[in-house]
Structures are given as structure tokens and as C-alpha cells.
Structure 1
Amino acid sequence: MKLRRLYTFFALQLIAALLLSPLAAAQTASVAKPNQPATVVELPASPVGKLGRAFIEAVNSGDKTALANFIASSFSEIAMKNAPASEYIANLQKVYAQSGGFDVMEVMPTTDANMLRLKLRSKRGNRWVMLVTRLDKAQPDRLDGFGVRLLPDPEIEKADVWSEAKMDEAGAVKEIERHVEMAASQDRFSGVALVMKGDRVIFNKAYGIAERGFGAPNKLDTKFNLGSMNKMFTSVAIAQLVQAGKLSYDETLAHALPDYPNKQTAEKITIHQLLTHTSGLGDFFKPEF
């Protein structure tokens, strides 16, 4: 896995906001095994392995001084440019308060000797994550940051297999409902699921929370901010037009949209470049746009 410099702040926000929220922990407790004993896994005796173990021990202590000492002795200059020590400490203490610490369940394979990938399980809520740490090339005795990614519960993942048996419409709806409810119970899906057969709606249910602060549930008429998901629909529509011979990937934006305001730029940009995010157009969130 090719990594860029890892910005720890966002990784911690992922854990605190999505992974270890009280709601997520409560939902998981109903399907996980709270009293399941931790599996003792030996970490590599390599430099990154030793730092990884020290990192987990510091987090599991929940102690401000222990965290400060680890950060001071083990984070590189690059890591400290991402965020001040006080921010690291505050966020890691929040993670500990909500997770109860982590057990190392597996050392995951990697071809990079300076990288460590661990599969962890939180002691509270039994949530699974992958922790990635890496040595700094300029300071090989220190970490240049770390990243965290949500992982599905292995037991849930085994159960989350679609049936290959032939079934009627009622059976198909039941199978769809089982999978959507399983995803919602793991906090992996929040929204409205709708399935149609021809022009008939055969399944339509809402799941999850629309506003966590007030605990407002999603409803069938809840409005959602799709964000960049619109790109997928647009890409499919363009591919259909290309397949029908009504559009070409090599056509310019000016040809497809004659009224585009910046004609000089539109004549240089192709549909393919738009789809691959290589058009050179500015970010519309910036004033220059």
C-alpha cells in the first residue's frame, strides 16, 4: 500500500466521530462478544515494530504524561508539523476514553520493512480498525505519522455473504433487508434504501440517524447531501451517451456545452479529462474560481 504523509488529526477524527461514538459502540455490543479474551500477538522486533508497541501502550494507558513522553521521543519533525503535541495528546485521550484501549489481533503483511500494519480491536465496543505506522526516512528512529481505517467485524463479515440460492421476489426482498440491516447495525450505512423491479418499488426503508446531536432518525423523505456521489451518476450517464454514439470521450467541453462561460478554457478540456479529474479547472471552493 502506497502511503502519503499521514495526517494523524483526521485519523483521530475518524475514530472519535465514526468508530467510537456512543451510538456505534451500543450498536456493536449487541452482535460482538464483549467478554471474548484478547489474542496475544507478538509484534516484530524491528524498529517500527518496537515503536508500534510503544505507541499502543501509550494510548492504552490514557495517561497524559505517558502520551507526551512517547510523542516527544518517537514522533518525527514531519509528524509534529501536522499538529502540535497538545492536539495529539488531547485526541488520543479522547480515543482512550471512548475505546478503553486496543488489543492487537493481527500483524498484517506489508512489503515495506519500515511500515507496520496492525489489526486492532477496541476493548470497549469491540470495534475493529487497521493502524498503520511508518518510520520517517529522514529520522529512521521516529514515526512520520500514522493512519487509521475502519475494518468490518470478522464475525459480521462472515455472516454478510449474499445467498446464491434461487429465490422468489419475497425471498430476494428478505435477503436485501437482512444485508441492509446488518450494515446499519454496524454503523456502515445510514440513509434510505430503495429497490425497484421494473416500475414497482419492492423495498423502501430508512435507517440510521439524520442528526446525531438530537438523535433524529432518518425517514423516507429525509433530504441528503450527496456530495461527490453525483460524480458516479454523471459518469454513468456519460458512458451511456458514449455507448449510444451521442458523445465521445475525446470531445471538448466547448462542444458538449456550447454555453460554458469560459469558452477559451472549454475548447482545451476534453470529456475524458473531466472524468479523470485532469482538466486543470480550479477548485470551486476557492475565491479564484
Structure 2
Amino acid sequence: MTEDDLTPEDKIYKLDGISIPKWIVITVIVMFLGFFLNFPISKMITSQVKKSLDSMRTCPISYDKIEVEYFFFPKVILKNPTVSGICFQNPSAALKFKELMIRLWFPSFLPPGIRFHIPIKYEKSEIDIYPTLTFGKLHLNIKDAKIDGKLLEILTGKLKNIHGTIEVNAIANIDKAGPASGELLVKSKDLVIGPQNISGLAVPNLPLRSLLIKAELERPRLTLLDVIIGDDKSPLKANMKGEIKLNMKHVPSSGLDIDGNVFFGQDFLSSFGILNLFLAGKQTGKDGSYPIKIQGTFMRPAPSIK
């Protein structure tokens, strides 16, 4: 058969001078689809995901069912999942979703590995997590996550009536022992902590507005490069640096060693009178701020004003 004898349809399948009959191409495609659709891949994936979730005793996740889809990017979907508060050290709380999904994503070249995408939406919060499996480790990348006050309340456990949104960017390298290294950037321009009772103290409204946290992790130390809370119009303003010695087995017991300065506005001092008892006799700097040191643990912080 010469090239002139080929029909337009046949010419489509002519590769490097070798004409491939259309029926062979169709047969190969049908055989491949038949194998793919009949081989119990979905059951194998579902079984493995179920096994993995059942083994997560430190972070229990319940769900109605598991679905596997192959359109565009292969994905695994948990329907109506509930993430226990144990996962974020708040056993009395839980996060309920309509669905949680993990899907295969574009390959990663730096670091080289298989990359996935986990999109999370909870009310007004939107978080995109990109895990990459590489050489026995997990590289985690969180890009431009928007976390609303409602989700912050659940994650912190102790603070209530939080308004505003924080933006989070983070990278982390995780091995069998947990997070080994990474970087963290947290920002907000509209953070407000409403009136609440903390350890028996009635704390007034705190329109902090501005928040900036820059940190680096080299296990077991989380170095706080910058912690800036509030601005010139806020009822309090703090600028701190320091270290947190992480306890990977029990994060609330992680040790704090933080130093900085804090400024209290006159309106805040008037509405939070008990604070004046702690400040009595303390010396301020030229800008009217007080030197502060925070020790103790996440669970029991021990702030002191010098």
C-alpha cells in the first residue's frame, strides 16, 4: 500500500513511514480500557485508604464512604468526613466537611517526587495543601491559605469570638519522627479578638488588626524570627522573638523562651484594670513599652514583665 492509496483516516495512524491499520489501534484501546475497568483498582485503593485511616489513632477521621474517580486527575474522596479535635489538641471539638479530597497533581521537580493536592474548604476558610512524596520523606507546601476566625476558634481551642482572616504560607519536610525542618509565614490585617474570659479574667475587645509571624524550624527548635502583634492604632502592640523547643510527642508541652516588648494603649489599660496591678512599679522604655518574657509551655505559658 502506498501513501497515495491511504484514506485521510488511515493517514492519521501512519507513523515514521509505517501505516498502522485503524482496527489495530481501536483494538489496543479497547483492550486497555477493558483491563483498566475490570481490574479492581478502585477496590484496592479504597481498601488501602481505609486501612490507613483506621490506623490513625492520634488523629481519628470518620466518614460515610470512600469514592475513587479517574477523570482529569485521579482522586480519592471522603464523603461527609469528621476530623476529631484530637488532631489539633482540642478533643472537645471536631471539624465536619461535606467531603475531603486528595488528588494526584502535576509532578514535582524540586524536590523531585510524586505530588498531590488536598483542597480544603470550611465555611469561609480555603486551604490548599500540596504534599510531595520524595525519597522516603514527605515535603509539605501550603500556599496562600485563608483561615477564617471561625476555624481559628476551633483550632486554638481556648480563644473564642475571633474575627478576621489570616493568610498562611508554609513549607515543611516530614520524616518518621515528624516535622524535621521548614518555614512559616502568617499574616493578617483585620484580626479582632472579641471580649472573652481567659482563666477567670474578663479580657476586653482586642481589635489587633495587624499580625505577622515569621518562623523557621530545625527540629526540635522552632525559631521565631519575628512576631509582631497589632499596629499603632491597636489597644496593644507587641514585638517579640525567641525559640520554642518542640515536644513532638505532646505539642502542648513544648517549651517557650520568648523575649520582646509590649505596649498597652491607655483605653485598654482603663478597660482592663487588673493589668495595672501587674504593671505597678515596672519600668517602661522610651517609647512607653514594657520588656516582656514568656516562658513555660503552650499549655501553661508564664509571661512576666520586667
TM-score above 0.5: no
Larger radius of gyration: 2
Which has a greater percent of strand? 2
**TM-score, normalising length from structure 1?**
0.25
Which has a greater percent of helix? 1
